[in-house]
Structure 1
Amino acid sequence: MKKRPWKSSLTAIMLGAMIVQGGTAAWAAEPSTPTVVAPTVNYGLTKDIRAAIKSVAETPTATGSQLAVTVRLYNGGTAQNRVPEHELRVQTSSGISYTLKPSAGNKASLQPKEIAELVYYASVDSKEIGKIEGLSFVNVDLYAYPKVETTLLSMPTNQVWYGGTGSAALESIARTGWGQDFTIAGVNSGLTYKTVESSLQNTAAGRVAVVTVLVNNPGGGRETVPAFRMDAQSESKNYEGKRTEIAPVALAAGETTYIHYAIPVESGVTLTNLVVLSTDTFVPKDGGQPVELATAKLAINWPVDGASTAPEAYTIGKPISFNAQSKVIDKSTEVSLMELHLHENPGEGYKTAVAKFKLTNTSTTPTATPVFLTELTSKLGASYQGDRQTNVTSMLNPGLSYVVSYSYIVPQSEDSESFALKILDAKAAAPYTTTIAALQTDLQKEEADAPLSLYPFDLKINDISTSMQTTAQLTYTYKLRMDLSITQQENVVVDNNFSKLRFEIIDPAGRLVGAKDASFAGPNKLVSGVQMMDVSNFSTDQFSYPFTIHVYEIIETQNGTAKRLLKVIK
C-alpha cells in the first residue's frame, strides 16, 4: 500500500504532534536548541490508523543477531478500530526478509484517538544480517491455497541502530556534547534533557558511574518521563545503566527535576560516551521470560575530566546557594558554613578537619532539620567524606539557628590551605550521592592570642593551672583551675547535642594522666570566670612534673569521637 497523504495540513500538524516527539523548546535559564534527529514520518496503515517507526535495532548476540522493532500506531477515527491481522517483516539490503514475532502485550484494537506501541522481536542464528532498509506490515491469508500475502504498508527505515562496542557502533545515531539540551527521537514525549553531573563512586559492589540529568517540561500539560536507559561506553566495552528512581517521575507544565542513572563500571576504565537508549519490553506469547529491548538514540561525549558541579568562591558565614531542584533543603531553611578548621592530632597519626554549618529557620512554623552529607576535596583532588555529628535536633523552630558539625579525617601529609566543599544529597539517587552545592573556601587560621572559635562560642583561656592530690593509697588525682572568657552569638540554640571541650593532662613522658569533658550546655556547663574541674577519672602511682594541657573540641559521630586540637598549654 502506498503512503497515504494527509487530508489537510491541519490534520497533519495535529497528528504529528501527537504520535511524533514534540518540538524543541528553549530553557528559561540557558536558551539553546536541543539536539534531535529528523522527525519521524507517519504512514497510513488503514483509513483511520496511522503508523510511525519508534525504533529499529540489530544487535549482535553470542550466537547471532537480535532484531527488534517498535511501531507506534494512532487511531485518528471516531470509533474503535481493529489493528489489521499482519506479520511484521524487515527487509535487508541483500533482499532477505525476516519475520519478527509480536509481543503478547501488543494491542489488537485502538480506541478513538488512542496511541499504542507494538513491539516485535526475533533472534536469528546469523551474524550476517546486513543493512536493514525497510519494514512492512504483511497480511497472510492462511485459508487460501496457495496462501495469499498482501502488503498493507511498507516503511523505509532511515534510523537503525546497529549495536556493538566502540565509536563505530554509534555512527548511525545522533551525537551531542556534555551539558547540551537534547530530546529523544521517536519517543512520544515533548520533554527535554540535559546532563549536568557525573561522578565515579565506590560501593561495596564495586565502582559506579552516577549521572545526573536535568529534565524540563516546556509543554502546557503534565508529562511523565518515558522509559529510557543510559549506558556508558569505553572503546572496547559497553556498561549498562539503570535509573535509580523506581517510581514514575511526572512533571507539571514548566517544571524541571532531576533523574539519575547508576552505571556499574570497571576500576580504571576510561569512558568515552554516554549512550541514550529507548527501551521496550517484549513478552513472548508462549509464556517465556520478558525481554528488554534497547535501541540507542543519541551518543553524548563523556567529559574528559568528569563533570561535577564547579565550586563557587565562598565567604565563611554567607548563605549557601543550592540547586533549585534539590528537595533536601527546605526553601525556608538557610544554611551557612560558619567554621572550617584543620588541626593536628598529637599521637593519632592523622589530622582532623571540622566544618560547622548554621541552619536557620526563616519561616514562622517549625521545619524538619535537613540531612545532608559533605565532602572535602584538596588541591590535589583527594576527597574526604565528612562524619556528621550523631545527635541532631529533628526540628528547627522559627527564627532560631542550630549548629550541625562534620568532621573529616585527613592524612598528616595534607597541606592544602583551600578546599572544595561539596554538600551532597544521599536520597535522590540512593544509595548513591549527588551534589546540591559546591563551595571553594579557605581554611580559617587562628592567631596565638586570639579567642578560640567554636561557633556560636568564642572562648578565651585567660589562665589554666593544674593541682595534684595524693590519696591514702599513694595515688595521684588532679584538678584544673581555669579562668575563661566565653561569649555566645544570639538566637543560636545550644543543647546537649553540641560539641564539648576535652581537657587532657599529659606528663613529660607523653602519658595521659588525666582527662575531663566539659559541656557548653546543661547544669554544669562552662561559664565565664574562674572555675575548678576535678580530673579524677585517671590515677597513677607515679608523679612527674611539669604537665602539658591539651584542649580539644570533641564531636560524637557515627564513626566514633572526632577530636580537634584547639590549644596546647605548657
Structure 2
Amino acid sequence: MKPTWKKSISAALLSVSLVMTASPAALLAAEAGAVAQSVRGEYALTQSVRADVKSISSERAGDSTRIGAVVRLYNEGGRVTRVPDYELRIKTTNGLEYTLQPSATNARAIQAKEKVELSYMLTLDDGNTTEIAELSWVEVDEYVYPRKETPVLNVPVTGTVWHGADSEIADPAMMKVWGQPFRLPVLSDTLQYTPVTLVNEKTPQGPVTVITLIAENTGTLTETVPNFNIDGKADNRSFAGQRAEKEVTLKPGEKKYMHYGILAENGVVLTSLNVLTPESFVQLGADNKPAVESYAVGRLSIALPSNDTISAEMLPAYELRNRIVFDPLNKLVDKETEVSLVDLSMNESETAGYKTIIAKFIVKNTGENPVPLPAFQAELRNAEGYRYTGSRQTVVSEQLAPKLAYLVNYAFAVPSSETGENLLMKLQDGQTIAPYNIPIAGFKTAVATKEAEGNTENNVLSFYPYSVKLNSWALAAQGGPAGYTYKLKLDTDITTVDDVVAGAGAANMKLELHDTLGRMIASETVPLSGMNKLISGAQFIMFQNLRTDQFEWPLTLKIYESIQTPAGEAKRLVATLKQ
C-alpha cells in the first residue's frame, strides 16, 4: 500500500450496532498505563541545551525514499539561547551518510527553561535505502579550507525508525492489549487514553469500525487533547481512521469520550490498531511560497479482541417501567431526563412475510427548565445475533416541558419466524458525533406475552397509554339499495394509564368483522386521541365498504391496537368477540 503522507479521509455514513468489547464503567476507574515514549532531554548537545529524538521515519514514495526527523531541544539555562547551528545527519547500517534539510519554520532560539521542535526532511531517489542506524549533529566550519567538520552528538536509532502506514510496531513496550490505558508523552505527559468499545457496521462505503476512547486529564491544568490518529491493521495493511471530535478540552480530573471511524474493505477483519502522531515539514519553493509536507509516525499498537469480552448474558435484565441506566459520559440524555420502556409487543403487519415489534418509551423531564427531547436510536438484537433498527414515530414535541412525560414509539420490522424472546435492546446516540452512532445504554428484554398484556376477562383492553373498559357491545345489520352495512354500538370507559403527552396516532383502535370462514369482510379504525377520537359512553361505528353483498351471521369482532409505521400498519390483537 502506498505510504500516506498527506491524509484526506472521507467520513463514512454510519448506522451502527454495538459490539461491546470492554466495560466502560470498569475502565473509568483504571489506573494509568505505561509511558509510551522517550525521556525528556536525554542527550547533552551543548552546555545548556539537551536533545531528544521525537521521531524518525523512512518511507517509500513511488521510486523514492522520504526521510523525516523531528528533534526536540531543551534550554536548561536561565536565559534565551540560540539554536545551535549544526547539521543534522543520518547514517545507515552500511555506512552511508546523508544530511537532512531543516524546515523553513524551524525556531532560531529557545527561551529559558523551554523547548522547541525542529523538523528535517530529505528525499532520496534511491528507493532501497538501507536501515537508518544513527542520527548525528555535526558542527561545520565553512570558513576554513578544507572545511572542518566536528561531530557533536551521535544518537542510535536502530529499531525506532517508522517505515510508513503498513509498518508493524515490534517494541513490546509499545504494544498494548485492548482496554489497557496508555499515554503519548510526545504530545502530553498528563493525558491518558483508554480504549473501551468497538462498533462495527457494513455501510455503502464498506465496513466501518468505530473506536471509542476515554480521554482523562490526570494533571492540574486544563488541556486540549492534541491531534493524533488511529489506523486499523489487517494482514500487513493499514486502513486510515478519522477522528470524530474536532476539539476535546479536559479540565483537571475530567473524562470525556473520543471516537475514531475506520473505513476498511469488504472481507477485511481488523486485528490491531496503530496510534500515530502527526509531523510536518515546510519547504520554500522557487516562488518563495511555503509547501507543507505532512506525515504520521506510529507510536503504539493496540491488539483487538478476537471475540466480544462482554456477552449478552452480562447485560442487565430489564423490567418494564424501570428507569433505563445510561452511560454517565453520554451527551444525549442528561441526568434530569428519565427514560423507561413501558411496552414491547409483537404485532401483525399489513403485508405477510414479516412482523412488527412496537417499543413504547416514556421520556420525562424531571428538571425545572425545558430541555430537548433526546432523539436516541433504538436497536434490537435477537439470540442469533440478527439486528433490527427501530423507526421512530413522529413525536408531539421536540421540547420536554418540566415535570411532563412524553410517549415515543419505535417500530422494528422482523421476520415472521421471530419469537421475540431473549432480545437485547440497545439505545444509541446518532447526533453527538454524527455521522457516527455510539451506544449509550443496553439491556435484555422480551416482547410481552398475552398473559402480561392482559385479556378480556375483566373487559379492560390495553392501548397504552389508554385503557378501554368495554361495558357492552352490539352489532346489527342494516339493508339498503347498495347492500348491507353493519352498525356497531360500543359502550366504553376510557382512561389514561399514566400522565403522559401522546401524539396523534400513538394508539388507535382497529375493529374488524370476520365471517364464519375467518375472512375479514369489513374494518374501521378509530383514533384514541385527536380528532374524532373514541370517547367514554355509548357510541355507534358504521362499517362501510363491505367486501360482500351477502348478509353474514354470526360475525366475529376482532379488536386490534393499530399503529402506523414507515413500513405500513402494525396491529396487535387485543380482543376477540363473537356474536
Q: TM-score, normalised by structure 1?
A: 0.85
Counterpart amino acid of residue 365 in structure 1: N
Q: In structure 2, what is the equivalent of residue 296 of structure 1?
A: 298
SS of equivalent residue, structure 1 residue 336 = strand
Q: May I ask how many residue pairs the two structures share in their alignment?
A: 539
Paired residues for 1:297-446 under 5 Å: 297-306=299-308, 311-345=315-349, 347-446=351-450
Question: Is the 8 Å Cα contact of residues 504 and 530 (structure 2) preserved in structure 1?
Answer: yes
In structure 2, the residue matched to 1:21 is none
Asked if the contact 1:232/1:274 (under 8 Å) is kept, the reply is: yes
Aligned equivalent of 1:117: 117
CA distance in 2, matches of 1:135, 1:262: 36
Question: Secondary structure of 2:168's partner?
Answer: helix
Q: Is the 8 A contact 2:463 2:508 kept in 1?
A: no
1:240 aligns with 2:249: no
Report how far residue 374 of structure 1 moved. 0.8
1:47 shift after superposition = 4.5
Query: What residue in structure 1 maps to residue 184 of structure 2?
Result: 184
| Post-superposition CA distance 1:307-347 (Å, at most 9, x none) | 67963222221111111111100211111111112233364
Does the aligned pair in 2 maintain the 1:201–1:432 contact within 8 Å?
Answer: no
Distance 2:335 2:49 in 1: 49
Q: Deviations over 1:435-492 (max 9, x none)?
A: 01111112211234365444333345565555454554x1555543334444423432
Whole-angstrom CA distance in 2 between matches of 1:330 and 1:565: 33
455-464 vs 47-56, which moves further: 455-464
Kept in 2, the 8 Å contact 1:311–1:421? The answer is no
Contact 2:164 2:297 in 1 (8 A): no
Q: Deviations over 1:3-49 (max 9, x none)?
A: xxxxxxxxxxxxxxxxxxxxxxxx99534341334642413444444
Following superposition, the deviation at residue 383 of structure 1 comes to 0.5
Consecutive unaligned residues of structure 1, counting only runs of 5 or more, are 1-26
Q: Give 1:527's aligned amino acid.
A: I
1:255 alignment counterpart: 254
Distance 1:540 1:490 in 2: 39
Contact 1:199 1:307 in 2 (8 A): no
Alignment of 1:94-173 (within 5 A): 94-157=94-157, 160-163=160-163, 169-172=168-171
CA deviations 1:200-221 (Å, max 9, x no partner) are: 1222322211111111111111
Matched AA of 1:147? R
How many percent identity over aligned positions? 34
User: Are 2:499 and 1:491 aligned?
Assistant: yes
Distance in 2 (alpha carbons) for counterparts of 1:453 and 1:115: 71
User: Given residue 381 of structure 1, which amino acid in structure 2 is its aligned partner?
Assistant: G
- CA, structure 1 residues 260+96, in 2 after alignment: closer, same or farther (shift >3 Å)? same
Q: 1:342 to 1:540 in 2, by over 3 A?
A: closer
Change (3 A) 1:145 1:461: farther
- CA change 1:41–1:342 in 2 (3 A) is same
Listed one character per residue, the Cα deviations across residues 44-68 of structure 1 (whole Å, up to 9, x for unaligned) are 4444443322222333444354322
- Amino acid aligned to 1:304: S
Per the TM alignment, residue 562 of structure 1 is displaced from its structure 2 partner at its CA by 4.7
CA contact (8 A) 1:459 1:484 kept: yes
Q: Which residue of structure 2 aligns with residue 455 of structure 1? A: 464
Find the aligned partners of 1:452 and 1:285 in 2 and give their Cα distance. Answer: 80
Alignment correspondent of 1:566: 573
Task: Report the CA distance between 1:229 and its aligned residue.
Answer: 0.8
Contact map agreement 1:66 1:121 (CA 8 A) in 2: yes
**Contact residue 131 and residue 158 of structure 2 kept, 8 A:** no
CA distance in 1, matches of 2:516, 2:97: 91
Q: Which has the higher contact order (CA 8 A, sep 6+)?
A: 2
> Offset at 1:300?
1.1
Relative to structure 1, the CA distance from residue 460 to residue 311 in structure 2 (aligned partners, 3 Å threshold; closer, same or farther) is: farther
Query: Cα distance, 1:403 vs. partner?
Result: 1.2
The 2-side partners of 1:405 and 1:527 are apart by: 23
The amino acid across from 1:518 in the alignment is: V
Counterpart position of 1:93: 93
Checking the alignment, whether the CA contact within 8 Å between 1:464 and 1:481 is kept in structure 2 is yes
Give the Cα separation in 1 of the matches to 2:394 and 2:130.
Answer: 62
**Following TM superposition, by how much is the alpha carbon of 1:530 offset from its aligned partner in structure 2, in angstroms?**
3.3
- Return the alpha-carbon distance in structure 2 between the equivalents of residues 150 and 468 of structure 1: 113
Distance across 2 between alignment mates of 1:140 and 1:163: 30
Q: Which residue number corresponds to residue 5 of structure 2?
A: none
What amino acid sits opposite 2:294 in the alignment?
E
Between 260-269 and 152-161, the greater mean CA deviation after superposition? 152-161
Aligned to 1:521: 529
CA gap of 1:519–1:416, structure 2 versus 1, over 3 A, is: closer
Give the match's secondary structure for 1:312: coil
- Which residue in the other structure is 2:194 paired with? 194
- CA 1:540–1:377 in structure 2 vs 1: closer, same or farther (change >3 Å)? closer
Maintained 8 Å contact 1:446/1:452: no
Letter in 2 for 1:254: G
Decide whether the 8 Å contact of 2:230 with 2:240 is kept in 1.
yes
Where does residue 282 of structure 2 map in the other structure? 283
Distance of 2:523 and 2:279 partners within structure 1 = 66
SS at match of 1:364: coil
8 Å Cα contact 1:391/1:497 also seen in 2: no
Amino acid of the residue matched to residue 280 of structure 2? T
Question: Aligned pair in 2 of structure 1 residues 46, 564: CA closer, same or farther (>3 Å)?
Answer: farther
- Please tell me the residue identity of whatever aligns with 2:456: D
> Helix, strand or coil: the match of 1:328?
coil
Letter of the structure 2 residue corresponding to residue 564 of structure 1: K
User: Aligned pair in 2 of structure 1 residues 91, 187: CA closer, same or farther (>3 Å)?
Assistant: farther
Query: Aligned-pair distance for 1:70?
Result: 2.0
- How far 1:540 moved relative to its partner? 5.5
Cα distance in 1 for residues equivalent to 2:30 and 2:63:
47
The 1:475/1:185 distance shift into structure 2, 3 A limit, reads: farther
Aligned-partner SS, 1:317: coil
Asked if structure 1 preserves the Cα contact closer than 8 Å seen for 2:464 and 2:507, the reply is no
Q: Deviations over 1:117-141 (max 9, x none)?
A: 2233333344543333331233444
Letter in 1 for 2:226: P
1:19 paired residue number: none
Give how far 1:96 is off. Answer: 2.0
